[in-house]
Amino acid sequence: MSPEKGQGKEAAEKEERRFVWNLRPRTLNEYIGQGRMVENLGIAVSAARERGEPLDHILFHGPPGLGKTTLAHILASEMGTRITHTSGPALEKPVDMVGILSNLDFGEVFFIDEVHRLPHAVEEYLYSAMEDFQVDFVYGKGAYAKTLPYQLKPFTLIGATTRAGLLSAPLRDRFGMVYYLDYYSLEELTQVVQRSASLLGVTVPEEGAAEIARRSRGTPRIANRLLRRVRDYAQVKEGGVITLDIAREALTREGVDGAGLDRLDRLYLNVVVERYGGGPVGIEALAATLNEEVDTLADVVEPFLLKMGYIVRTPGGRRIGEVALRHLGLRPDEAGQGRLM
């Protein structure tokens, strides 16, 4: 990739992050969806503030784009404290973890995204830090090795992961609150689209907002991304008003069909049908056929397809679901005769 293209891609990604960040809610009252969880978090925040204590450690898990990072920043704001944001892969050595922990102020939120990817040696330093707010430095070698305890200021660790099953049991058990973020309903996503449109100064009748929501895979992040694309199209074609017809036309041009499936989703389903006779097929074989990373399929593509019944996970591998066959316009006896899209 040329330097110019690399800089252009980096600038586009930076602009995308800024756009998404500006649409994020700032308080629990502004947060849409995940009703019972948000209510419980509000109670926990009120109780902690009354006692003058930090929040208990929290683990958020679920598919990407549902608001785990947003909630971490909201909770820090509600508690009137700072947030230190990092990710599991960024903490390569124990010294990285200890350096951050030793600099946390009282009640500060320490947010670790992709917490399941923490190296084991780094993760071990979290155990005593989360329970006793203490880390132990080991100095010397062999028979002369000694441990020097270092007291930390009480803090709140918030972990986020898309793959809770990969968390070690000792780490998972040290979180006082564990919440699963589920996909949003059509009504909730419609509210998300309408709220974001109002912040952008875009006119979106309810039918247009509902159409964007319907094709957003139950995910607010995708809803906001699609809203941006539809806004651009409406600005050029319809004077900025996102009508139902404009939303449909713009999203179809983007390759997002009426069920919210994009080209990679449809290609995935067609490969299962055409190349593997409807399954079962292992995810490694699918990744090789599609020339995609296994993690991309497991973390990005499959969660929504599994939730909606487009594919079924069995001990022998992935199988095509009847819902997917109907969506592709095939009968069950036509597995193996699909057409790649």
Q: What is the pLDDT of residues 20-40, one digit of tens each?
A: 557 788 899 999 988 899 999
Q: Where do we find the tokens 């509000």? A: 42
Round the average pLDDT of the chain to a whole number and report it: 84
Q: Which residue of the set 68, 214, 248, 319 is catalytic?
A: 68
User: Is there a catalytic annotation at residue 86?
Assistant: no
User: Is there a catalytic annotation at residue 314?
Assistant: no
Note whether 13 and 150 are same-domain residues.
yes
pLDDT greater than 90 at residue 127: no
Full residue range of the structural domain in which residue 200 is found: 186-253
Confidence of residue 223 (pLDDT cuts 50, 70, 90): very high
Q: What is the pLDDT of residues 316-335, one digit of tens each?
A: 888 988 888 888 776 655 55
- CATH number of domain containing 329: 1.10.10.10
User: Is there a catalytic annotation at residue 69?
Assistant: yes
User: Would residue 340 count as lying in a domain?
Assistant: no
pLDDT score for 234: 86
CA distances from 341 to 64, 249, 269, 274 (A): 25, 19, 10, 11
pLDDT score for 35: 87
User: Is there a catalytic annotation at residue 163?
Assistant: no
Q: What is the pLDDT of residues 259-303, one digit of tens each?
A: 888 888 888 888 888 888 887 888 898 889 888 888 888 888 888
User: Would residue 282 count as lying in a domain?
Assistant: yes
Q: Which residue of the set 70, 81, 161, 162 is catalytic?
A: 162
Note whether 157 and 205 are same-domain residues.
no
- Among 235, 253, 271, the domain-final residue is 253
**CA-based torsion, 215, 219, 225, 231: positive or negative:** positive
User: Is there a catalytic annotation at residue 68?
Assistant: yes
pLDDT greater than 90 at residue 71: yes
Note whether 277 and 173 are same-domain residues.
no
pTM: 0.82
Beta-carbon contacts of 331 under 8 Å, excluding residues fewer than 6 positions away, are 325
User: Would residue 258 count as lying in a domain?
Assistant: no
- Among 154, 180, 206, the domain-final residue is 180
- Among 180, 198, 230, the domain-final residue is 180
Q: What is the pLDDT of residues 202-222, one digit of tens each?
A: 888 889 899 999 999 889 999
pLDDT score for 338: 45
As for how many domains the chain has, the answer is 3
Note whether 244 and 270 are same-domain residues.
no
pLDDT score for 339: 47
Bridge partners of residue 137, in order along the sequence: 148
Question: Of all helices (H) and strands (E), which one includes residue 156?
Answer: strand 156-161
Q: Which residue of the set 113, 172, 219, 265 is catalytic?
A: 113
pLDDT greater than 60 at residue 74: yes
